[in-house]
Amino acid sequence: MATELDIGLERVVAAATRLSDVQGQRGRLTIAGFPAEEIAPRATFEEMVYLLWYNRLPSPAELTGFGKELANRRDLPDYTIDLLRSAAARSVDPMDALRMGVASLEIRGSDPRTQACSVVSQTATIVATYLRLQSGADPVPPDPELGHAADFLRMVEGEAPAPARVRALETYLNTVIDHGLNASTFAARVIVATDSDMVSAIAGAVGALKGPLHGGAPGPALDMVFEIGDIDHAEPYLREKLERGERLMGFGHRVYKVRDPRADILTLATRTLYAEDQGSQSLYELASGVETIALQLLEEFKPGRNLQTNVEYYTALLLHCLGFSSAVFTPIFAIGRVAGWLAHCQEQRETGRLIRPSCQYIGDHDRIWVPLDQRS
Protein backbone atom coordinates (compact mmCIF):
# COMPACT_ATOMS: atom_id res chain seq x y z
CA MET A 1 0.00 0.00 0.00
CA ALA A 2 1.27 3.50 -0.92
CA THR A 3 2.16 5.54 2.15
CA GLU A 4 3.50 8.71 0.53
CA LEU A 5 1.08 11.63 0.51
CA ASP A 6 0.44 12.99 -3.00
CA ILE A 7 -2.39 15.50 -2.68
CA GLY A 8 -2.71 16.40 -6.38
CA LEU A 9 -2.16 12.71 -7.35
CA GLU A 10 0.24 13.76 -10.12
CA ARG A 11 2.62 10.89 -9.33
CA VAL A 12 -0.17 8.33 -9.17
CA VAL A 13 -0.97 6.20 -12.24
CA ALA A 14 -4.56 5.18 -11.61
CA ALA A 15 -5.68 3.77 -14.98
CA ALA A 16 -4.40 2.10 -18.14
CA THR A 17 -5.92 3.60 -21.28
CA ARG A 18 -5.63 3.27 -25.03
CA LEU A 19 -7.65 6.46 -25.56
CA SER A 20 -5.07 9.24 -25.37
CA ASP A 21 -1.46 9.82 -24.42
CA VAL A 22 -0.43 13.20 -23.04
CA GLN A 23 3.33 13.76 -23.17
CA GLY A 24 3.77 16.87 -21.09
CA GLN A 25 7.50 17.41 -21.55
CA ARG A 26 7.43 16.88 -25.30
CA GLY A 27 4.17 18.71 -25.95
CA ARG A 28 2.62 15.75 -27.74
CA LEU A 29 -0.95 14.53 -27.65
CA THR A 30 -1.86 11.18 -29.22
CA ILE A 31 -5.52 10.28 -29.61
CA ALA A 32 -6.11 6.54 -30.10
CA GLY A 33 -2.79 6.26 -31.93
CA PHE A 34 -3.05 9.43 -34.04
CA PRO A 35 -1.10 12.62 -33.37
CA ALA A 36 -3.83 15.12 -32.45
CA GLU A 37 -2.68 17.57 -35.13
CA GLU A 38 -2.93 14.81 -37.78
CA ILE A 39 -6.51 13.84 -37.05
CA ALA A 40 -8.34 16.71 -35.35
CA PRO A 41 -8.47 19.08 -38.35
CA ARG A 42 -9.46 16.27 -40.77
CA ALA A 43 -11.94 13.92 -39.07
CA THR A 44 -15.62 14.49 -38.61
CA PHE A 45 -16.74 14.40 -34.99
CA GLU A 46 -18.56 11.12 -35.67
CA GLU A 47 -15.31 9.56 -36.95
CA MET A 48 -13.50 10.65 -33.80
CA VAL A 49 -16.18 9.19 -31.53
CA TYR A 50 -16.08 5.92 -33.49
CA LEU A 51 -12.29 5.85 -33.24
CA LEU A 52 -12.37 6.27 -29.47
CA TRP A 53 -15.09 3.73 -28.92
CA TYR A 54 -13.94 1.04 -31.39
CA ASN A 55 -10.21 1.82 -31.55
CA ARG A 56 -10.15 2.13 -35.35
CA LEU A 57 -11.44 4.43 -38.06
CA PRO A 58 -14.82 3.40 -39.51
CA SER A 59 -15.30 2.22 -43.10
CA PRO A 60 -17.65 4.43 -45.17
CA ALA A 61 -20.60 2.05 -44.47
CA GLU A 62 -19.78 1.91 -40.76
CA LEU A 63 -19.56 5.68 -40.59
CA THR A 64 -22.95 6.09 -42.24
CA GLY A 65 -24.53 3.60 -39.84
CA PHE A 66 -22.85 5.12 -36.79
CA GLY A 67 -23.75 8.67 -37.89
CA LYS A 68 -27.42 7.62 -38.14
CA GLU A 69 -27.28 5.95 -34.76
CA LEU A 70 -26.09 9.20 -33.20
CA ALA A 71 -28.35 11.47 -35.27
CA ASN A 72 -31.50 9.51 -34.40
CA ARG A 73 -30.87 10.01 -30.70
CA ARG A 74 -30.67 13.81 -30.59
CA ASP A 75 -34.26 14.45 -29.42
CA LEU A 76 -34.71 15.43 -25.79
CA PRO A 77 -37.52 14.18 -23.56
CA ASP A 78 -40.24 16.81 -22.93
CA TYR A 79 -39.39 16.95 -19.24
CA THR A 80 -35.76 17.86 -20.02
CA ILE A 81 -36.95 20.70 -22.27
CA ASP A 82 -39.35 21.86 -19.51
CA LEU A 83 -36.50 21.79 -17.01
CA LEU A 84 -34.29 23.85 -19.34
CA ARG A 85 -37.14 26.29 -19.91
CA SER A 86 -37.51 26.84 -16.16
CA ALA A 87 -33.74 27.21 -15.81
CA ALA A 88 -33.64 29.81 -18.61
CA ALA A 89 -36.47 31.76 -16.96
CA ARG A 90 -34.29 31.98 -13.84
CA SER A 91 -31.12 32.86 -15.86
CA VAL A 92 -29.28 29.79 -14.62
CA ASP A 93 -25.62 29.62 -15.73
CA PRO A 94 -25.37 27.48 -18.90
CA MET A 95 -22.96 25.02 -17.28
CA ASP A 96 -25.38 24.49 -14.38
CA ALA A 97 -28.20 24.08 -16.90
CA LEU A 98 -26.13 21.46 -18.72
CA ARG A 99 -25.55 19.60 -15.45
CA MET A 100 -29.28 19.66 -14.69
CA GLY A 101 -30.18 18.65 -18.24
CA VAL A 102 -27.73 15.75 -18.33
CA ALA A 103 -28.85 14.54 -14.90
CA SER A 104 -32.45 14.43 -16.13
CA LEU A 105 -31.68 12.02 -18.99
CA GLU A 106 -33.13 8.58 -18.77
CA ILE A 107 -31.10 5.40 -19.19
CA ARG A 108 -32.90 3.30 -21.79
CA GLY A 109 -32.10 -0.30 -22.79
CA SER A 110 -29.21 -2.40 -21.62
CA ASP A 111 -26.69 -1.88 -24.46
CA PRO A 112 -23.99 0.51 -23.16
CA ARG A 113 -23.04 1.64 -26.71
CA THR A 114 -26.62 2.67 -27.47
CA GLN A 115 -26.84 4.49 -24.16
CA ALA A 116 -23.54 6.22 -24.89
CA CYS A 117 -24.80 7.35 -28.34
CA SER A 118 -27.84 8.93 -26.66
CA VAL A 119 -25.72 10.76 -24.09
CA VAL A 120 -23.31 12.17 -26.73
CA SER A 121 -26.14 13.31 -29.00
CA GLN A 122 -28.37 14.69 -26.28
CA THR A 123 -25.56 16.62 -24.60
CA ALA A 124 -25.25 18.77 -27.73
CA THR A 125 -29.02 19.19 -27.96
CA ILE A 126 -29.22 20.28 -24.31
CA VAL A 127 -26.65 23.03 -24.90
CA ALA A 128 -28.31 24.21 -28.13
CA THR A 129 -31.79 24.12 -26.59
CA TYR A 130 -30.66 26.07 -23.55
CA LEU A 131 -29.01 28.73 -25.71
CA ARG A 132 -32.22 29.17 -27.70
CA LEU A 133 -34.36 29.37 -24.58
CA GLN A 134 -31.99 31.82 -22.92
CA SER A 135 -32.23 34.14 -25.88
CA GLY A 136 -36.04 34.01 -25.71
CA ALA A 137 -36.42 31.87 -28.85
CA ASP A 138 -38.08 28.49 -29.20
CA PRO A 139 -35.87 25.40 -29.41
CA VAL A 140 -35.08 24.17 -32.93
CA PRO A 141 -35.72 20.42 -33.19
CA PRO A 142 -32.82 18.25 -34.41
CA ASP A 143 -32.40 17.38 -38.09
CA PRO A 144 -31.07 13.80 -38.33
CA GLU A 145 -29.96 14.44 -41.92
CA LEU A 146 -27.16 16.70 -40.69
CA GLY A 147 -23.89 15.76 -39.01
CA HIS A 148 -23.43 16.32 -35.29
CA ALA A 149 -21.50 19.61 -35.44
CA ALA A 150 -23.58 21.08 -38.29
CA ASP A 151 -26.83 20.26 -36.53
CA PHE A 152 -25.60 21.71 -33.26
CA LEU A 153 -24.88 25.03 -35.00
CA ARG A 154 -28.24 24.87 -36.81
CA MET A 155 -30.10 24.17 -33.55
CA VAL A 156 -28.41 27.22 -32.01
CA GLU A 157 -28.77 29.62 -34.93
CA GLY A 158 -31.91 28.34 -36.63
CA GLU A 159 -30.27 28.10 -40.05
CA ALA A 160 -27.81 25.79 -41.80
CA PRO A 161 -24.22 26.85 -41.00
CA ALA A 162 -21.49 27.61 -43.56
CA PRO A 163 -19.11 24.63 -44.07
CA ALA A 164 -16.11 26.62 -42.74
CA ARG A 165 -17.89 27.13 -39.43
CA VAL A 166 -18.76 23.44 -39.19
CA ARG A 167 -15.13 22.54 -39.90
CA ALA A 168 -13.87 24.93 -37.22
CA LEU A 169 -16.26 23.53 -34.63
CA GLU A 170 -15.40 19.93 -35.52
CA THR A 171 -11.69 20.67 -35.25
CA TYR A 172 -12.34 22.10 -31.81
CA LEU A 173 -14.54 19.21 -30.60
CA ASN A 174 -12.02 16.68 -31.94
CA THR A 175 -9.11 18.48 -30.28
CA VAL A 176 -10.68 18.36 -26.82
CA ILE A 177 -12.36 14.96 -27.13
CA ASP A 178 -9.98 13.22 -24.76
CA HIS A 179 -6.97 14.13 -22.67
CA GLY A 180 -5.65 11.45 -20.36
CA LEU A 181 -6.79 11.30 -16.78
CA ASN A 182 -7.84 14.93 -16.41
CA ALA A 183 -10.06 15.89 -13.45
CA SER A 184 -13.45 15.44 -15.15
CA THR A 185 -12.46 12.13 -16.76
CA PHE A 186 -11.19 10.89 -13.42
CA ALA A 187 -14.47 11.96 -11.80
CA ALA A 188 -16.42 9.97 -14.43
CA ARG A 189 -14.23 6.91 -13.90
CA VAL A 190 -14.62 7.10 -10.12
CA ILE A 191 -18.40 7.18 -10.48
CA VAL A 192 -18.75 4.24 -12.92
CA ALA A 193 -16.21 2.28 -10.88
CA THR A 194 -18.88 2.06 -8.17
CA ASP A 195 -21.05 0.31 -10.81
CA SER A 196 -23.21 3.41 -11.06
CA ASP A 197 -24.73 4.39 -14.43
CA MET A 198 -23.19 6.50 -17.18
CA VAL A 199 -25.61 9.43 -16.86
CA SER A 200 -24.51 9.82 -13.23
CA ALA A 201 -20.87 9.64 -14.36
CA ILE A 202 -21.38 12.34 -17.00
CA ALA A 203 -23.30 14.60 -14.61
CA GLY A 204 -20.36 14.32 -12.17
CA ALA A 205 -17.85 14.98 -14.94
CA VAL A 206 -19.74 18.12 -16.01
CA GLY A 207 -19.47 19.32 -12.40
CA ALA A 208 -15.70 18.76 -12.43
CA LEU A 209 -15.26 20.45 -15.81
CA LYS A 210 -17.03 23.57 -14.60
CA GLY A 211 -14.17 24.72 -12.35
CA PRO A 212 -11.91 27.50 -13.65
CA LEU A 213 -8.80 25.42 -13.00
CA HIS A 214 -10.09 22.85 -15.50
CA GLY A 215 -12.64 23.66 -18.23
CA GLY A 216 -13.86 26.97 -16.90
CA ALA A 217 -10.87 29.03 -18.03
CA PRO A 218 -11.70 30.14 -21.59
CA GLY A 219 -14.41 32.61 -20.57
CA PRO A 220 -12.11 34.47 -18.14
CA ALA A 221 -9.27 34.25 -20.71
CA LEU A 222 -11.35 36.09 -23.29
CA ASP A 223 -12.71 38.55 -20.72
CA MET A 224 -9.08 39.37 -19.93
CA VAL A 225 -8.32 40.14 -23.60
CA PHE A 226 -11.44 42.33 -23.83
CA GLU A 227 -10.54 44.15 -20.60
CA ILE A 228 -7.06 44.84 -21.96
CA GLY A 229 -8.65 46.20 -25.12
CA ASP A 230 -5.48 47.75 -26.54
CA ILE A 231 -2.08 46.10 -26.81
CA ASP A 232 -0.45 49.12 -25.09
CA HIS A 233 -2.41 48.30 -21.93
CA ALA A 234 -1.40 44.63 -21.91
CA GLU A 235 1.89 44.85 -20.04
CA PRO A 236 0.71 47.00 -17.08
CA TYR A 237 -2.58 45.09 -16.85
CA LEU A 238 -0.95 41.65 -16.76
CA ARG A 239 1.88 42.77 -14.50
CA GLU A 240 -0.61 44.12 -11.97
CA LYS A 241 -2.55 40.86 -12.01
CA LEU A 242 0.60 38.84 -11.39
CA GLU A 243 1.72 41.24 -8.65
CA ARG A 244 -1.61 40.62 -6.91
CA GLY A 245 -0.82 36.88 -7.08
CA GLU A 246 -3.61 36.16 -9.59
CA ARG A 247 -3.36 33.49 -12.26
CA LEU A 248 -3.55 34.32 -15.93
CA MET A 249 -6.34 32.21 -17.39
CA GLY A 250 -5.37 30.22 -20.47
CA PHE A 251 -1.78 29.68 -19.31
CA GLY A 252 -0.11 26.86 -17.40
CA HIS A 253 -0.99 23.19 -17.23
CA ARG A 254 -0.57 20.38 -14.74
CA VAL A 255 0.98 18.08 -17.36
CA TYR A 256 2.28 20.26 -20.22
CA LYS A 257 5.50 22.06 -19.41
CA VAL A 258 5.88 23.18 -23.04
CA ARG A 259 3.21 24.74 -25.22
CA ASP A 260 -0.01 22.68 -25.18
CA PRO A 261 -0.16 21.05 -28.66
CA ARG A 262 -3.91 21.67 -28.72
CA ALA A 263 -3.18 25.40 -28.61
CA ASP A 264 -1.32 25.01 -31.94
CA ILE A 265 -4.20 23.13 -33.58
CA LEU A 266 -6.67 25.73 -32.41
CA THR A 267 -4.40 28.64 -33.36
CA LEU A 268 -4.44 27.37 -36.94
CA ALA A 269 -8.19 26.75 -36.95
CA THR A 270 -8.82 30.16 -35.38
CA ARG A 271 -6.55 31.93 -37.85
CA THR A 272 -8.42 30.31 -40.75
CA LEU A 273 -11.76 31.29 -39.33
CA TYR A 274 -10.73 34.85 -38.50
CA ALA A 275 -9.17 35.31 -41.95
CA GLU A 276 -12.69 34.99 -43.37
CA ASP A 277 -14.07 37.57 -40.98
CA GLN A 278 -12.22 40.88 -41.34
CA GLY A 279 -14.16 42.45 -38.47
CA SER A 280 -12.62 40.05 -35.97
CA GLN A 281 -9.07 40.14 -37.29
CA SER A 282 -8.15 42.91 -34.86
CA LEU A 283 -9.26 40.80 -31.88
CA TYR A 284 -7.14 37.90 -33.12
CA GLU A 285 -4.12 40.20 -33.42
CA LEU A 286 -4.72 41.70 -29.98
CA ALA A 287 -5.00 38.20 -28.44
CA SER A 288 -1.76 37.03 -30.06
CA GLY A 289 0.02 40.16 -28.80
CA VAL A 290 -1.39 39.64 -25.29
CA GLU A 291 -0.23 36.01 -25.43
CA THR A 292 3.35 37.04 -26.22
CA ILE A 293 3.47 39.55 -23.36
CA ALA A 294 1.79 37.12 -20.93
CA LEU A 295 4.41 34.46 -21.69
CA GLN A 296 7.24 36.94 -21.07
CA LEU A 297 5.73 38.06 -17.76
CA LEU A 298 5.01 34.50 -16.60
CA GLU A 299 8.67 33.67 -17.13
CA GLU A 300 9.62 36.80 -15.17
CA PHE A 301 7.23 36.14 -12.25
CA LYS A 302 7.51 32.32 -12.19
CA PRO A 303 10.97 31.62 -13.58
CA GLY A 304 11.63 28.02 -14.55
CA ARG A 305 7.96 27.02 -14.11
CA ASN A 306 7.51 26.76 -17.88
CA LEU A 307 4.04 28.24 -17.89
CA GLN A 308 2.87 28.13 -21.49
CA THR A 309 -0.33 28.80 -23.42
CA ASN A 310 -2.92 26.08 -22.87
CA VAL A 311 -5.88 24.92 -24.94
CA GLU A 312 -8.29 27.35 -23.31
CA TYR A 313 -6.78 30.53 -24.69
CA TYR A 314 -7.45 29.71 -28.34
CA THR A 315 -10.67 27.90 -27.45
CA ALA A 316 -11.94 31.27 -26.34
CA LEU A 317 -10.99 32.98 -29.59
CA LEU A 318 -12.34 30.24 -31.82
CA LEU A 319 -15.68 29.95 -30.03
CA HIS A 320 -16.01 33.73 -29.91
CA CYS A 321 -15.53 33.90 -33.68
CA LEU A 322 -18.20 31.23 -34.04
CA GLY A 323 -20.52 33.67 -32.30
CA PHE A 324 -20.72 32.09 -28.84
CA SER A 325 -20.68 34.11 -25.63
CA SER A 326 -18.08 33.25 -23.01
CA ALA A 327 -20.72 31.80 -20.65
CA VAL A 328 -21.22 28.92 -23.05
CA PHE A 329 -17.57 28.03 -23.79
CA THR A 330 -17.37 25.35 -21.11
CA PRO A 331 -20.66 23.64 -22.09
CA ILE A 332 -19.33 23.47 -25.67
CA PHE A 333 -16.12 21.92 -24.36
CA ALA A 334 -18.36 19.28 -22.74
CA ILE A 335 -20.02 18.50 -26.10
CA GLY A 336 -16.65 17.25 -27.33
CA ARG A 337 -15.28 15.76 -24.10
CA VAL A 338 -18.43 13.74 -23.36
CA ALA A 339 -17.34 11.16 -25.97
CA GLY A 340 -14.01 10.75 -24.18
CA TRP A 341 -15.70 10.49 -20.77
CA LEU A 342 -17.93 7.71 -22.08
CA ALA A 343 -14.99 5.84 -23.62
CA HIS A 344 -13.22 6.03 -20.26
CA CYS A 345 -16.36 4.79 -18.49
CA GLN A 346 -16.29 1.73 -20.74
CA GLU A 347 -12.60 1.12 -20.04
CA GLN A 348 -13.16 1.53 -16.33
CA ARG A 349 -16.05 -0.94 -16.34
CA GLU A 350 -13.81 -3.49 -18.06
CA THR A 351 -11.39 -3.34 -15.11
CA GLY A 352 -14.23 -4.17 -12.70
CA ARG A 353 -12.26 -2.39 -9.99
CA LEU A 354 -13.62 0.12 -7.48
CA ILE A 355 -11.45 3.28 -7.24
CA ARG A 356 -10.82 3.93 -3.60
CA PRO A 357 -7.53 5.63 -2.66
CA SER A 358 -6.34 6.06 0.89
CA CYS A 359 -5.91 9.21 2.91
CA GLN A 360 -3.53 10.15 5.65
CA TYR A 361 -5.34 10.93 8.87
CA ILE A 362 -3.96 14.11 10.44
CA GLY A 363 -6.56 14.59 13.19
CA ASP A 364 -6.52 13.61 16.87
CA HIS A 365 -7.14 10.19 18.40
CA ASP A 366 -8.83 9.08 21.61
CA ARG A 367 -10.85 12.25 22.28
CA ILE A 368 -13.33 11.98 25.12
CA TRP A 369 -17.03 12.78 24.56
CA VAL A 370 -18.28 15.85 26.45
CA PRO A 371 -22.09 16.14 26.84
CA LEU A 372 -23.58 19.30 25.30
CA ASP A 373 -24.50 20.95 28.64
CA GLN A 374 -20.91 20.64 29.84
CA ARG A 375 -19.31 22.32 26.79
CA SER A 376 -18.25 25.96 27.05
What whole-number distance in Å separates Cα of residue 288 and Cα of residue 294? 10
Of 342, 339, 344, which is closest to residue 40 (Cα–Cα)? 339
252 lies in the site for ligand ACO, by CB under 6 A? yes
Of 33, 59, 28, 30, which is closest to residue 46 (Cα–Cα)? 59
| Stretch in the footprint of ligand ACO (CB under 6 A) among 52-60, 279-287, 308-316, 342-350 | 308-316
Q: Judge whether 312 counts as a catalytic residue.
A: yes
210 lies in the site for ligand ACO, by CB under 6 A? no
In a 10 Å sphere around its CB, with 0-12 CB exposed, 13-18 middle and 19+ buried, how is residue 358 labelled? exposed
Contact pattern from residue 167 through residue 206 relative to ligand ACO, giving x for each residue in contact according to CB under 6 A and a dash for the rest: ----------------------------------------
219 lies in the site for ligand ACO, by CB under 6 A? no
Question: What are the backbone angles phi and psi of residue 28, rounded to the nearest 5°?
Answer: -120, 140
Torsional sign, CA 84, 70, 179, 188: positive
259 lies in the site for ligand ACO, by CB under 6 A? no
> Is the CB of residue 14 less than 8 Å from the CB of residue 347?
no
Q: Choose which of 89, 164, 213, 327 interacts with ligand ACO (CB under 6 A).
A: 213
Question: What are the backbone angles phi and psi of residue 171, rounded to the nearest 5°?
Answer: -60, -40
| Stretch in the footprint of ligand ACO (CB under 6 A) among 33-41, 274-282, 307-315, 357-365 | 307-315
248 lies in the site for ligand ACO, by CB under 6 A? yes
**Distance of closest approach, residue 21 Cβ to ligand ACO, in angstroms:** 16
Q: Choose which of 81, 127, 208, 249 interacts with ligand ACO (CB under 6 A).
A: 249
311 lies in the site for ligand ACO, by CB under 6 A? yes
Question: 26: helix, coil or strand?
Answer: coil
Q: Judge whether 253 counts as a catalytic residue.
A: yes
What whole-number distance in Å separates Cα of residue 256 and Cα of residue 311? 11
Closer by beta carbon to ligand ACO, 147 or else 211: 211
Q: Write down the catalytic residue from 170, 179, 312, 320.
A: 312
**Distance of closest approach, residue 23 Cβ to ligand ACO, in angstroms:** 16
Report how far Cα 265 is from the mean position of its chain's Cα atoms: 16
Q: Where on the chain is the footprint of ligand ACO (CB under 6 A)?
A: 213-215, 217, 247-254, 302, 305, 307, 310-312
